[in-house]
Amino acid sequence: MAKILDGKLLASKIKTDLKTRIEKEKISCCLAVILVGGNPASRIYVNGKKNDCAEIGIKSREFELPSKTTESELLALVEALNADDNVDGILVQLPLPAHIDQEAIINAISPSKDVDAFHPINVGKIMTGNYTFLPCTPAGIIELLIENDVQIAGKECVVVGRSNIVGKPAAMLLLQQNATVTIAHSHTRNLAEVCRRADILIAAVGKAELITADMVKKGAVIIDVGVNRLPNGQLVGDVAYPEVSKIASAISPVPGGVGPMTRAILMKNTLQASTYNRK
């Protein structure tokens, strides 16, 4: 059986280290979270982030806006938080209602407070390797690999999924770790054949149990980013865990793998923003 890449355990260690640093250095730090509309999944995510902040000593400010909020009203709030010296990080919970231009909102967040690292300036810095923040999920993936002594340099890595939030930045971070990287997507021919080349396979498409055992090389390391709910209510990833775990050398579970790491990196980014903005 594969080694379990326990993101929950590692995230707890990261948060403990952050808490210790905040207390020792008496750091004042604040994260502002904006939630528009009543999306139940978004509410769960925001509650989790609030709990993380409380756990490690970061102040959190929540702005819950009705779904009828206009784009101009949301932009005005973002600008006010940009100008507030007591706010170090700004996070707008996605997705936004259809009538709001998501790109316009992301672009309005000050790059120095963009703890999600979605702003084009921060994305560009990731490309050059000269970054202030890293996007939370890709950075969490890399840390999960490194802390479990998974060698990345020289390895063949396949990222299934090309989103701006996970797939593309994950590929860039793997490249910076000296991996050889392939990005696969919905137009990739012979997906199973491409996946079987991978020493490290990252699945980030949001399609339940897409990656099956016949698509995985024996001994590969598998990172499952997907979170999908089956008709029976069961939560599963993009990887068919029961069968793939029998041939992989290591695998991240769902839940308890990448998800907790994403939130831990958000806390790390917020602390970094505090250090950066209050020099």
Question: What is the rounded radius of gyration, in angstroms, for the C-alpha atoms of the chain?
Answer: 19
Identified catalytic residue from 15, 49, 113, 268: 49
Active site residue 114: no
Active site residue 238: no
Distance CA 161, CA 258 (A): 15
Q: Long-range CB contacts (< 8 A, 24+ apart) of 268-272? A: 268/14, 268/18, 269/89, 269/115, 269/116, 269/117, 269/133, 269/134, 269/136, 270/29, 270/31, 270/53, 270/58, 270/88, 270/89, 270/115, 271/18, 271/21, 271/22, 271/27, 271/29, 271/58, 272/132, 272/133
Tokens of 232: 């029976």
Distance CA 263, CA 45 (A): 9
Parallel/antiparallel/unpaired status of strands 235-236 and 228-229: antiparallel
Identified catalytic residue from 6, 52, 88, 116: 116
Active site residue 93: yes
Identified catalytic residue from 88, 93, 113, 177: 93
The answer to whether the CB of 105 falls within 8 A of the CB of 75 is: yes
Which positions are annotated as active-site residues?
A: 49, 93, 116
